[in-house]
Amino acid sequence: MKLIKVAAAVLNQTPLDWEGNRARIVAAIADARDRGVRVLCLPELCITGYGCEDAFHSPSTHRTAGEVLGEIVPETRDLIVSLGLPLWHAGSLFNAACLVVDRQVVGFVAKQNLANEGIHYEPRWFRAWPKGTRTEIRWNGRSYPVGDLVFDCGGVVLGFEICEDAWVGDRPGTELARRHVDILLNPSASHFAFGKHEIRKRFVLEGSRAFHLSYVYANLVGNEAGRAIYDGDAMIATDGRLLAVGPRFSMADYHLTAAVVDIDFTRMNRARSGGFRIGVDEANGSRVATDFAFPEIALEKNQPEPVAWEAGPFRKEEEFARAVSLGLFDYLRKSRSRGFVVSMSGGADSATVATLCGLLVRLAVDELGWQGFTKKLAYIDGLSDRQQASELVRQLLTCVYQATRNSSSITYEAARGVAEALGAEFYRFDVDGLVQQYTDVVAQAIGRPLDWQQDDVALQNIQARVRSPSVWMLANLRGALLLSTSNRSEAAVGYATMDGDTSGGLSPIAGIDKAFLRHWLRWMEQHGPHGLGPLPALRLINQQQPTAELRPPSAGQTDEADLMPYEVLDVIERAAIRDKLAPREALRRLEAEPWDYSREDLLVWIERFFRLWCRNQWKRERYAPSFHLDDENLDPKTWCRFPILSGGFERELAELRREVV
């Protein structure tokens, strides 16, 4: 047996945070050495951060990345380490991994397949490296090989698939296996989305099985640049067997996942595979050889133990709670905000946002401990590792209920109950006088009183807008981050008041549909995240029908009466926006659902959706940044582009009406 201890390190990096990124890389390297690791894979573009956007176009970015690489290289004693950085060569920029062997750079491998869908726009900055080519590059005064390379380190052959390389049909691993690769490293920056863990696990396992080698997958973790959340998810597999899996959604600076692999075992299995074609010609110089002594080690028991909540029945609910909590925590500390402010309406959306802020504290303290948590927020005056969880929540979360004459005691009690159960600071503002002042000013100017028959939308919107300045002021006074509470279903149809309930610096649930949020709140009331338990105070929230409470109580206003049932809205949205179906096709999709709505109702709702979607693109353009959580996001800056001005599907809707008649 030839046993080697390998590891994948997930890192919580920040774009262009040169000192911080370097410190976390060096800490992970030192930890790996202390644990007897000899091959360490770090995430994609870990030196610069993955989300540098157009800063990649700046010569100083790749120049500084090279300088930081030179500062890290001396820290790699007795280790083989892969380090990700942008590499300038031949008038183009490449997404590269540098292999360092015991304090010596031995070469660079460039990514062959660039991510160019969804939230990824790598071809905007990088060029794909041509398969099968290699050349030389000057770095730090010397020439080094760069390109489609494999590395023979003391008789053990290493190769690379860099993130997207493993997601394509013609993945580089197929050719690398023919070139006798023993260990395949995959440095990645793979953003979180519901269910994505299983996809990653499949290509790691299948790559290790089909190529007969050991596969080491290392991802980013945390909210790196504002929108994308990375869940970590380090994995190590050998010949189709999963040896180790790292925790997801860690709030630590880094986490190391290690395992012992048997090189002789995978080599023999490859030799036994009759259908496996082996290449023997490396005359083009694509194999880089260097000395490295692997010490003899004892066989360790590798047993991946799934986290309890991963194996439970509520994986999506748990993923949502942990992903958004992690996203909020990193956004808070990386923006150096001193807490959160939430305008509480007593409804589902604001209750969700406040609850997630409360979960943030409990999950972070559970993992990091009091001292580790407060250390990460050391810039906030008054935080102490001697505080109780409820005291920390109170210092970091402020909830405000802003009442008008149309507000009810039920929503007030619901908002207050949730805030108090979380331990948040809670205020009630009476803004009815301000609403009336604005109404009177306009009425006097136009020479007539405003009434609900003629001025319904304007009278609703002024209430939502009046709530914005005071809650912004409170956030400013505290140096806190104001969180918008709009959800994706509302964003799709513009059921929100710009500069009112959309006010905020971050919109954490704008990527999630209303139906799931209501389901998640019921789960939180009855179950809650593993190890934390339920929040019974949500009962009053869950008992109510969603309502904006902007019309007089006698109107009996509800969201679904204004729009349509949320279950219908979500099906239309997925059909029209995610699946790009025309109105007639969306109708057929609706008619296939097992519900009792009439065809006439479905027709009205489809037409209403398409008209509201087109009319309100300008609102979606103005939403505060939101988290990307699935492939149904409506964020026009990163996922779902649509013209602000359009023909409004007039022809398609006319065809729909003719078909129904």
352 token code pair: 């969700």
- Could you give the CA distance from residue 341 to residue 357 in angstroms, rounded to a whole number? 10
Q: Name the residue among 187, 196, 186 with its Cα closest to residue 231.
A: 196
Say what the pLDDT of residue 117 is: 84
Say what the pLDDT of residue 301 is: 78
Q: Is the dihedral of CA 571, 572, 574, 580 positive or negative?
A: positive
Say what the pLDDT of residue 274 is: 65
165 token code pair: 């390389």
Q: What is the pLDDT of residues 223-235, one digit of tens each?
A: 999 999 999 999 9
**Distances, alpha carbon 600 to alpha carbons 271, 353, 577, 586, 606, in Å:** 66, 36, 22, 14, 10
2 token code pair: 């030839």
653 token code pair: 């809707």
Say what the pLDDT of residue 298 is: 86
| Residue 186 phi, psi (nearest 5) | -125, 90
Q: What is the mean pLDDT of the chain?
A: 95
Mean pLDDT, range 245-269, rounded to an integer: 96
Say what the pLDDT of residue 302 is: 74
User: 344 and 542 in contact (C-beta within 8 Å)?
Assistant: no
Would you say residue 476 has pLDDT above 90?
Answer: yes
Q: Scanning the structure block, which residue is given the tokens 């790009």?
A: 580
**In this prediction, what percent of the chain has a pLDDT beyond 90?**
91
Would you say residue 531 has pLDDT above 80?
Answer: yes
Say what the pLDDT of residue 281 is: 55
Say what the pLDDT of residue 389 is: 72
Would you say residue 329 has pLDDT above 70?
Answer: yes
- Could you give the CA distance from residue 620 to residue 493 in angstroms, rounded to a whole number? 10
Say what the pLDDT of residue 384 is: 73
Mean pLDDT, range 490-519, rounded to an integer: 96
Complete DSSP assignment for 134-151: EEEEEETTEEEEEES-EE
Say what the pLDDT of residue 223 is: 98
Q: What is the pLDDT of residues 111-155, one digit of tens each?
A: 999 999 888 999 999 999 999 999 999 999 999 999 999 999 999
- Could you give the CA distance from residue 189 to residue 118 in angstroms, rounded to a whole number? 14
Say what the pLDDT of residue 382 is: 85
- Could you give the CA distance from residue 584 to residue 194 in angstroms, rounded to a whole number? 29
Burial annotation 211-236 (CB, 10 A radius, 16+ → b, else e): bbbbbbbbbbbbbbbbbbbbbbbbbb
Q: What is the pLDDT of residues 365-399, one digit of tens each?
A: 999 999 999 999 999 998 876 667 778 999 999 99
Assign a CATH topology to domain 310-557: Rossmann fold (3.40.50)
Cβ neighbors of 592 (< 8 A, separation 6 or more) are none
Domain range list for the chain: 3-297, 310-557, 564-661
Would you say residue 71 has pLDDT above 60?
Answer: yes
- Could you give the CA distance from residue 156 to residue 154 in angstroms, rounded to a whole number? 6
| Residue 82 phi, psi (nearest 5) | -100, 135
Position 8, amino acid? A
- Could you give the CA distance from residue 377 to residue 157 in angstroms, rounded to a whole number? 43
User: 86 and 93 in contact (C-beta within 8 Å)?
Assistant: yes
Q: Which residue has the higher pLDDT, 98 or 282?
A: 98
Question: 58: how many CB neighbours lie within 10 A of its CB?
Answer: 12
Q: What is the pLDDT of residues 195-217, one digit of tens each?
A: 999 999 999 999 999 999 999 99
Say what the pLDDT of residue 653 is: 96
- The secondary element (H helix, E strand) that includes residue 497 is none
User: 465 and 590 in contact (C-beta within 8 Å)?
Assistant: no
Would you say residue 357 has pLDDT above 70?
Answer: yes
Say what the pLDDT of residue 497 is: 95
Question: Do 310-557 and 564-661 share a fold?
Answer: no
Q: Name the residue among 19, 206, 35 with its Cα closest to residue 9.
A: 35
Q: What residues does 80 pair with on adjacent strands?
A: 39, 101
Which pairing describes strands 183-187 and 397-403: parallel, antiparallel, or unpaired? unpaired
591 token code pair: 């008619």
**In this prediction, what percent of the chain has a pLDDT beyond 70?**
97
User: 125 and 108 in contact (C-beta within 8 Å)?
Assistant: no
CATH of segment(s) 564-661? 1.10.10.1140
Would you say residue 280 has pLDDT above 60?
Answer: no
Confidence band (pLDDT; 50, 70, 90) for 5?
very high
Q: Is the dihedral of CA 196, 200, 205, 210 positive or negative?
A: positive
pTM beyond 0.85, yes or no: yes
Q: Which residue has the higher pLDDT, 660 or 573?
A: 573
Mean pLDDT, range 520-529, rounded to an integer: 98
Mean pLDDT, range 459-476, rounded to an integer: 97
Would you say residue 628 has pLDDT above 90?
Answer: yes
Q: What is the pLDDT of residues 19-28, one digit of tens each?
A: 999 999 999 9
The class of domain 3-297 in CATH terms is: alpha beta
Mean pLDDT, range 530-539, rounded to an integer: 97
Would you say residue 53 has pLDDT above 60?
Answer: yes
Question: Using CA atoms in the order 572, 577, 583, 589, what is the torsion angle rounded to 10 degrees?
Answer: -50
Mean pLDDT, range 552-556, rounded to an integer: 93
User: 629 and 320 in contact (C-beta within 8 Å)?
Assistant: yes
Half-sphere exposure at residue 313, Cβ-oriented, CA atoms within 13 angstroms: 2
Report helix, strand or coil for 560: helix
Cβ neighbors of 63 (< 8 A, separation 6 or more) are none
**Distances, alpha carbon 286 to alpha carbons 98, 213, 215, 367, 545, in Å:** 15, 19, 20, 44, 65
